[in-house]
Amino acid sequence: MKNNLAKFCFDKDKCIACGKCIKVCPGQLLKFNENKDVIIKDIDCFGWDGCWKCQHCMAVCPKSAISVLGKSPEECVTPPESENLPQILDALIKNRRSHRQYLNKDVDKRVLDDILKTVQNAPNGGNKGLVEYTVIDDKEQVKYFHDIVYSKMEKLANKGIYANGYDKKSYEQLKEWEKIVRPDMLFCSAPNLCIPHAPVGEGCYIQDVNIACVYFDLLCSSRGLGSIMMTYPLDVLDLMPKEKSMLGIPDNHYIAMIIGFGYPKIKYKRGVDKFNENKIKKLKFKI
């Protein structure tokens, strides 16, 4: 092949010519040649008109005969075989809570690095992988940023200027909650912050960012961390462009929420069931 931009490699000795890699390639780049070897079309780009970087071809091969993008089957993760997986995932989702009180300590860097590595496998439109993650993993840095924003927020409130959707009454209610339920109305005392974001107008940027937030949140829960998905701080930061720019996020990037996370001060003992049959609408068409 003339242009193997995707670094596609095929091992003829392992291949059984099942054709699964050809069937799952979203860009329809693969085919058999006259010798039943799997070959890839010449491409000069990644994306819609080239390789999608999805690695479907390598993931589906039953004989580990394909490598792509400089990665090999040996680097892949095998599917878990536990019969208890449905129960484990159900329990994870049902036990996930919004935490508003945390221990004053940073999340272990190895744990956070593992989360950030895994979350980039979250589904995204066209597999473009445009979501970026701005992370503050130092509680002192979070406190520094918090104090600047909080002080400005109070000065604006004294002038009758509140975040979008809030007024004097609701602002004072948040302040009241700080005495018991929410010690910090801005970041809920979270020692670390994560902000997924993506360029506006590219790919499915709104859906991609929201999905990334949910995946990050669940990954935190799976590791015993508390987390909370917050929109109020974003509304506050919209009132103060200078302070918002401290995050270093491009102005043309979409942000859905700020995720606070850390080791929870209060641990929950059980998950609850919020199922409501009336919220399920099963469609049936007349055929």
User: Looking at domain 88-262, which CATH architecture does it have?
Assistant: 3-Layer(aba) Sandwich (3.40)
Per-residue pLDDT 10s for the chain (287 aa) are: 456 888 999 999 999 999 999 999 999 999 999 999 998 988 888 888 889 999 999 999 999 999 999 999 999 998 888 888 999 999 999 999 999 999 999 999 999 999 999 999 999 998 889 999 999 999 999 999 999 999 999 999 999 999 999 999 999 999 999 988 889 999 999 999 999 999 999 989 999 999 999 999 999 999 999 999 999 999 999 999 999 999 999 999 999 999 999 999 999 999 999 999 999 999 999 99
- pTM given for the model: 0.92
Which residues, in sequence order, are bridge partners of residue 9? 67
Locate all alpha helices (DSSP H) within the chain, ordered by sequence. 20-24, 56-60, 85-95, 109-119, 139-158, 168-177, 205-222, 232-237, 241-244
Strand, coil or helix: 279: helix
CA atoms of 118 and 58, how far apart (whole Å):
18
Return residue ranges of the chain for CATH 3.30.70.20.
Answer: 1-79
Q: Contact 264/226 with Cβ under 8 angstroms?
A: yes
**CATH 3.40.109.10 domain extents, the chain:** 88-262
The Cα 122–Cα 221 span in angstroms is: 16
Neighbours of 219 (CB within 10 A): 22
Query: Does domain 1-79 correspond to CATH entry 3.30.70.20?
Result: yes
- Neighbouring CB atoms inside 10 A of 202's CB total 15
Residue 229 φ then ψ, to 5°: -95, 115
